[in-house]
Structure 1
Amino acid sequence: MSTRFSRAGRWLFGSHPQSLQETATTVLKYGCLAYVVRTYGVGATFCVGPSMLPTFNSFGDIVLFEHVSAYTNRIQAGDVVIARSPQNPGNLVCKRVLGLEGDFVKVAASTYLGPARTVQVPAGHVWLQGDNALNSTDSRSYGPVPYALIEGRAFLKVWPATQASWVKRQLS
């Protein structure tokens, strides 16, 4: 008994019944590869909001980030990182690392955050702040962030294409 394939089926899977199994295996292999690259290699995210002005626009730049630096504890002060929000772990935040564990960070006075103070970053934490200090919810509001919440280090702004550039490490 022969199996009949439609024209679309022959185009997608070939004319042999074994082609369906081979195609499924190939799709599964590429799916696994994509998962590994996304989880352990490179990811992309939108950076939305005014907290990282002027580094990123407030309307939603697309940024690539790599996971290796976070997994190997190679995040440095001045890096821009993508992290889980301590206030809402379902959301990602894009902030600059101003202090690593053991560092002392000077927090400027403001009417919203209170008097000036110096904070020592505890072990296993980082101090994150937006580049736009006047309009950013960051470690000044929610305190030091556990290192485990860091997803990766932003390295390339890819959108808008006219503003594509490397994300530079800098200390504010």
Structure 2
Amino acid sequence: MRVFLGSLGLEQIFTLTGKNPDGNSLWCSGPSMEPTIQNSDIVFAENLSRHFYGIQRGDIVVAKSPSDPKSNICKRVIGLEGDKILTSSPAGFFKSHSYVPKGHVWLEGDNLQNSTDSRYYGPVPYGLIRGRIFLKIWPLNDFGFLRDSPNGHRFSDE
């Protein structure tokens, strides 16, 4: 899912309320985060928590694309450094284990059948993460905080 950084005037609302003085509204494009984030949804990302608390498993993040530095991606954090991840091919034909090296995270879309993610480009350097997406602001009938992964965890017990 590609995201486009934008200024919709919504940052001022969060700044004035004191809820998020350092964030961006993002327009999301593509099916990789469905059903959590639909094509053309607008979400809000903040980047303070990654500095103070770090990124956690289950967080949805916006990051620079490892395969196209001019693009941003929106994915869920599945693994942190040191984690052993159970991965499968996008078509589900084979399964394997991957380790997340130091200074990296493992990112996957919620729509595993239609996502280009760490299963293709491997672990993502932590430095490419731009912020944590926590709130859907458009469409208004879907306004609210984003929840945990509908897929459950994908960590390996082996």
TM-score calculated relative to the size of structure 1: 0.72
Q: Given residue 156 of structure 1, which amino acid in structure 2 is its aligned partner?
A: L
Where does structure 1 differ by over 4 angstroms across 4 or more consecutive aligned residues?
none
**1:45–1:62 Cα contact (<8 Å) kept:** yes
- Find the aligned partners of 2:68 and 2:138 in 1 and give their Cα distance: 25
- Aligned in 2, Cα 1:42/1:158: closer, same or farther, shift over 3 Å? same
**2:89–2:119 Cα contact (<8 Å) kept:** no
- Aligned in 2, Cα 1:114/1:164: closer, same or farther, shift over 3 Å? same
**2:90–2:114 Cα contact (<8 Å) kept:** no
Specify which structure has the bigger relative contact order, considering alpha-carbon pairs within 8 angstroms and separated by 6 or more residues: 2
**1:44–1:63 Cα contact (<8 Å) kept:** yes
1:88-133 C-alpha deviation (Å, 9 max, x unpaired): 111110000000000011002455x863110010000000000000
Q: Given residue 148 of structure 2, which amino acid in structure 1 is its aligned partner?
A: R
- Alignment counterpart, residue 105 of structure 1, candidates 66, 70, 85: 85
1:71 equivalenced with 2:47 (yes/no): no
CA-CA distance at 1:57 after TM superposition: 0.9
CA-CA distance at 1:73 after TM superposition: 5.1
1:112-159 C-alpha deviation (Å, 9 max, x unpaired): x86311001000000000000000000000000000000011010001
Q: Given residue 162 of structure 1, which amino acid in structure 2 is its aligned partner?
A: N
Overall identity of the aligned pairs, in %: 46
**Between structures 1 and 2, the one with greater strand share:** 2
- Alignment counterpart, residue 125 of structure 2, candidates 146, 158, 166: 146
3-state SS in 1 of match to 2:32: helix
Tell me which structure has the larger Cα radius of gyration. 1
Structure 1 gap ranges (5+)? 1-33
Q: Given residue 47 of structure 1, which amino acid in structure 2 is its aligned partner?
A: C
- Find the aligned partners of 1:52 and 1:115 in 2 and give their Cα distance: 22
Q: How many residues align?
A: 133
Structure 2 partner of 1:135? 114
**Between structures 1 and 2, the one with greater helix share:** 1
- Find the aligned partners of 1:166 and 1:155 in 2 and give their Cα distance: 6
Structure 1 partner of 2:146? 167
- Alignment counterpart, residue 94 of structure 1, candidates 63, 74, 77: 74
**1:42–1:67 Cα contact (<8 Å) kept:** yes
